[in-house]
Amino acid sequence: DTDAFQRAFDAAVAAEERIEPRDWMPDAYRATLVRQIAQHAHSEIIGMQPEANWITRAPSLRRKAILMAKVQDEAGHGLYLYSAAETLGVSREELLDKLHAGRQKYSSIFNYPTLTWADVGAIGWLVDGAAITNQVPLCRCSYGPYARAMVRICKEESFHQRQGYELLLALSKGTPEQHAMAQDAVDRWWWPSLMMFGPPDDASQHSAQSMAWKIKRHSNDELRQRFVDICVPQAESLGLTLPDPDLKWNEERGHHDFGAIDWSEFWDVLKGNGPCNDQRLSRRRTAHEEGTWVREAAAAHAAKHSNDTTG
């Protein structure tokens, strides 16, 4: 009976065991995971767009090769995550349809434009840095397939983050124009990166339940604070300034205090009113339509092979 199943599930979560696809799980746990993993997968593939914008204009062959590899990694992350979501009984097609219809979200951060080459560095340093801070605890998420996907993704994200840091360092130590370009990119990406962690704890509707289920291990504000504390010394060694006059070490708390985040901007971006929401979604829809023949060919190929009894 359901009560016994529920007790077994609660005991497994309490004992830090992993819940696996064939295990019984509460419907709401399944729905929460589908929501979060789908949003995460969508973010990975939408996140390819802002950076891909610079592939043709990378300043050297080396930088171009690195950037292409990074953008391909993001596609790979999307694929692991769609596969993890599929273990919960939804199909990739269904999830993509929901993304294209605007019925599932992707991260707010990818609705900002990449105006200069330095933005590629700022995304690597700050956006991938924020992503890692959020995702390392997800390696201990109670749902096995999601936790395991995160292990590999985090390794690749660390490499992406170093790539961005190194790029920004080169610009920061370059000509005065290059330094200014790096500073401008950091000025524009800093606040949106802090918003990636989600609304403040008192406005985070899912946190309490997700933490009880051990999907989330830390609150949005805890991870945001951890990220700020990591970035301050890194900004110093980059020779760049974080655009927050209220940012300062608080001896008592053992953390940096920082200025107020403009949450109205965050909610506005979520509603679809960020600078690039329309462009990101319409490019994604077009890419999907243009890929129809590939999906059809792959399906025809698979069908032919499954009928092929001679091997």
Measured from the Cβ of residue 222, the count of other Cβ atoms closer than 10 Å reads: 15
**Does 172 help bind ligand FAQ (rule: CB under 6 A)?**
no
Number of residues that bind ligand FAQ (CB under 6 A): 29
Q: Which residues contact 256 (CB under 8 A, 6 or more apart)?
A: 225, 228, 229, 232, 247, 248, 249, 250
Output the furthest CA–CA distance in the chain (Å, rounded): 73
**Does 49 help bind ligand FAQ (rule: CB under 6 A)?**
no
42 or 256, CB closer to ligand FAQ? 42
**Does 98 help bind ligand FAQ (rule: CB under 6 A)?**
no
Task: Tell which one of 18, 23, 26, 39 touches ligand FAQ (CB under 6 A).
Answer: 39
**Does 270 help bind ligand FAQ (rule: CB under 6 A)?**
yes
**Does 53 help bind ligand FAQ (rule: CB under 6 A)?**
no
**Does 30 help bind ligand FAQ (rule: CB under 6 A)?**
no
Task: Tell which one of 198, 242, 274, 277 touches ligand FAQ (CB under 6 A).
Answer: 198
Handedness of CA 100, 104, 110, 111 (dihedral sign): positive
Element (H, E) at 249: strand 248-250
- Residue indicated by tokens 């065991």: 17
Instruction: State residue 174 phi and psi, 5-degree precision.
Output: -85, -145
**Does 131 help bind ligand FAQ (rule: CB under 6 A)?**
yes
Task: Tell which one of 60, 205, 309, 310 touches ligand FAQ (CB under 6 A).
Answer: 205
170 or 270, CB closer to ligand FAQ? 270
Handedness of CA 35, 37, 40, 42 (dihedral sign): negative
**Does 277 help bind ligand FAQ (rule: CB under 6 A)?**
no
**Does 206 help bind ligand FAQ (rule: CB under 6 A)?**
yes
Count Cβ neighbours within 10 Å for each residue of 224-248 and write b for 16 or more, e otherwise.
bbbbbeebbebbeebebebebeebe
**Does 204 help bind ligand FAQ (rule: CB under 6 A)?**
yes
**Does 107 help bind ligand FAQ (rule: CB under 6 A)?**
yes
- Specify the stretch interacting with ligand FAQ by CB under 6 A; choose among 8-16, 57-65, 103-111, 238-246: 103-111
Measured from the Cβ of residue 11, the count of other Cβ atoms closer than 10 Å reads: 10
- Specify the stretch interacting with ligand FAQ by CB under 6 A; choose among 5-13, 142-150, 197-205, 251-259: 197-205
User: Tell me, what DSSP letter sits at residue 114?
Assistant: -
CA dihedral 273, 274, 280, 285 (to 10 degrees): -10
Interacting residue ranges for ligand FAQ, rule: CB under 6 A: 35-36, 39-40, 43-44, 47, 74, 105, 107-108, 123, 127-128, 131, 134, 195-199, 204-207, 210, 216, 220, 270
